[in-house]
């Protein structure tokens, strides 16, 4: 069964460094998302992406964050200058236009030190 894949599974970075989290959505899906989950807290929406542009973003998704679909398969989340509070699990998800549910990747655990 097709699945959303995310790399790396765990990334450690120093505060102030840039990180890029990578996702390969399911191939025929058109809607893409990033969510994050700080340890022990609920899952929070960051951004949705459709037709090569951001369709919605949350207050969390400030100028430090950006998303890109550089080719036909990858969907990336970039954090320009990481802060300690960016430490979290980051989930990519995708959906096709015939179904109501989004499918999630296994997540990338980001640790900022």
Q: How far is it, in rounded angstroms, from Cα 20 to Cα 7?
A: 9
Binding of another protein at residue 105 (CB under 8 A)?
A: yes
Nearer to another protein, 14 or 101 (CB): 101
Give 18's Cβ-side CA count (13 Å radius). Answer: 9
Q: How far is it, in rounded angstroms, from Cα 104 to Cα 94?
A: 7
Nearer to another protein, 71 or 97 (CB): 97
Residue among 79, 86, 67 at smallest CA distance from 25: 67
Binding of another protein at residue 89 (CB under 8 A)?
A: yes
Q: Segment near another protein (CB under 8 A), from 13-21, 52-60, 62-70, 72-80?
A: 52-60
Binding of another protein at residue 51 (CB under 8 A)?
A: no
Nearer to another protein, 11 or 58 (CB): 58
Neighbour-count burial of 96, counting CB atoms closer than 10 A to its CB (0-12 exposed, 13-18 middle, 19+ buried): middle
Binding of another protein at residue 102 (CB under 8 A)?
A: yes
Q: Segment near another protein (CB under 8 A), from 13-21, 65-73, 74-82, 98-106?
A: 98-106
């Amino acid at each position: 069964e097709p699945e959303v894949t995310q790399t790396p599974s765990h990334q450690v970075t120093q505060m102030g460094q840039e990180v890029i989290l990578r996702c390969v959505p399911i191939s025929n899906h058109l809607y893409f998302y990033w969510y994050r989950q700080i340890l022990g807290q609920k899952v929070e929406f960051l951004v949705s992406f459709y037709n090569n542009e951001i369709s919605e973003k949350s207050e969390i998704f400030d100028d430090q964050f950006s998303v890109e679909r550089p080719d036909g398969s990858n969907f990336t989340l970039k954090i320009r200058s990481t802060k300690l509070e960016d430490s979290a699990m980051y989930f990519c998800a995708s959906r096709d236009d015939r179904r109501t549910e989004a499918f999630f990747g296994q997540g990338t655990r980001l640790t900022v030190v």
